[in-house]
Amino acid sequence: MSDKPQTSEKMQELINLAAELDDLSHINALMGWDQQVYMPRGGSEERGTQSALIGRLMHEKLTSEKVGKLLADLEAEVGDLNADTDEARAVKVFKKAYEKQTKVPWPLLMEFIKVTTGAHEAWVEARTKSDFSIFQPYLQKIVDLRIEYAKLFQPYDHIYDALLDDYEPGMKTADVKKIFDELRPQQVELLKAIAEKEPPDNSFIKTHYKTEYQELLGRYVITRFGFDWNRGRLDLTAHPFTTEFGQGDVRITTRYLDDDGGSALFSTMHEAGHAMYGQGIAAKYNRHPLSGAASLAIHESQSRLWENLVGRSKEFWSFFYPSVQMLFPEILGNVSMNDFYRGINKVEPSMIRVEADEATYNMHIMLRLEIEMGLMEGGMQVADLPEIWNSKMQEYLGITPKNDAEGVLQDVHWSGGMIGYFPTYALGNLASVQLWDKLLEENPNVHDEIAQGKFDTILGWMREHIHQYGAKYEPQELMLRATGSKITPEPYINYLKTKYGEIYDL
């Protein structure tokens, strides 16, 4: 006889419903992946109609009166929704999704889906032509729709709270501002100290590297990390991203730049970090209410950890650099490993967020947060964004974009309506170092293992403490369980000061 508790009839009904919603969500994700990777531009309007149909089916399934009754019955059956059981947490997660969706009228959701599908193609064209006016009317509509959406969740402490909660469950705008207010002056102080020092040379990176060799290197690195090619693939797109259509199909994308040989490698490592999280969620949560990730910040902690804490470390390059020199002898043959390490970690204000170094990256996110809050509060207008963006780049980083493409149009997120998303990038940075510190505390030989090209201890620790739990725990609870602390800026600041103190002799 098995000691495994029997799943009640009502709980099984909830799991079956979650499985159907998961399937529909993954179909929608597949269409979104195709749109960004392969779809011809002429398919935009029809793709919007198709996505709207999937959205309507999901909305109807999730918000029916039958589901409300089922959740009420299950809540009575389970009792404490904070109990540390899969059943209690499944009901809690599903109930929150139900309560949020029932507040959103279907016509508003349908319009949002159609507008964002068309907005993506407008963004691509606007970015290619470096002309914000092409994208402006779409973004104006998106902002209007997001304000309308957020107001459905009154009362709130701040209108931005409802949007932030979609990506970072349980986090409030005030929480993020408090963290950023503590982080900003310390990062500014560090940047001022670095600016007084002689910068490393990184000209060897800012040149053309053979694309086929870049791809070979990226595939080799993430294979050693533990990316499962039987359940994933790598493709090209304008803006790197990760998506999944189930635990057996997690896909990443990258891009190759003519004037930056490091961009594709670091973005491939970054996206692989996301993908290995998706591949590592416990199999029992496949097509289940707990099938997703804890949050976008936890997701970002994984990508930033593999990209930066591993991929930009001295130990990593002590192992990989000889192979890289052999691939690109005409560029790197006379560049020492130490010069290479210092060069790839050069602190230099960058126009483009995804190309930013670790010391300046969070400044890009703080800029975005101010703009998004301004748009939602009504104090900023969409038509003024290019000027606002440029002035804030000068204020935060001392540089001004030459055009819209490297300024306000650089990221794809607003075209998808993802206002509320950007703070998770900075929160993920902070969480990555907290997790890394705890990993090192429990496994002090990890740096030596990295120098030998071994990464199984790192991936295994993340599987045990983060990946396997899926959406069972909200992000702050998961961080408490894994590290003993909620997300906090101190470990990240200490990490930056130690790393750049050595590189710049501060």
CB burial of residue 257 (10 Å; 0-12, 13-18, 19+): middle
pLDDT for 5 = 61
Name the helix (H) or strand (E) containing 280: helix 263-280
Q: pLDDT band at 239, cuts 50/70/90?
A: confident
pLDDT for 117 = 86
260 in Cβ contact with 206 (< 8 Å): yes
Question: How confident is the model over 206-234, as pLDDT tens digits?
Answer: 999 999 999 999 999 999 999 999 999 99
Query: Does 343 score more than 60 pLDDT?
Result: yes
Query: Does 455 score more than 80 pLDDT?
Result: yes
Average pLDDT over residues 269-294: 96
Average pLDDT over residues 161-177: 94
pLDDT for 4 = 55
Question: How confident is the model over 386-421, as pLDDT tens digits?
Answer: 999 999 999 999 999 999 999 999 999 999 999 999
Question: How confident is the model over 9-60, as pLDDT tens digits?
Answer: 999 999 999 999 999 999 999 999 998 899 998 898 898 889 889 989 999 9
Q: Which residues are catalytic?
A: 271
135 in Cβ contact with 122 (< 8 Å): yes
Average pLDDT over residues 260-285: 96
435: how many CB neighbours lie within 10 A of its CB?
25
CA–CA distance, 358 with 330 (Å, rounded to integer)? 28
Question: How confident is the model over 492-503, as pLDDT tens digits?
Answer: 999 999 999 999
Query: Does 2 score more than 50 pLDDT?
Result: no
In the chain the domains, ranked by start, together with CATH numbers, are 9-102 (no CATH), 173-206+289-504 (1.10.1370.30)
pLDDT for 354 = 81
CB burial of residue 44 (10 Å; 0-12, 13-18, 19+): middle
% of the chain residues with pLDDT over 70 = 99
Average pLDDT over residues 271-289: 97
Angle between helices 9-37 and 106-129 (to 10 degrees): 30
% of the chain residues with pLDDT over 90 = 91
Per the prediction, the chain carries an average pLDDT of: 94
CA–CA distance, 52 with 152 (Å, rounded to integer)? 20
Q: Tokens in use for 92? A: 């809690």
Whether the model clears a pTM of 0.85, i.e. scores above it, the answer is yes
pLDDT for 173 = 96
pLDDT for 1 = 40
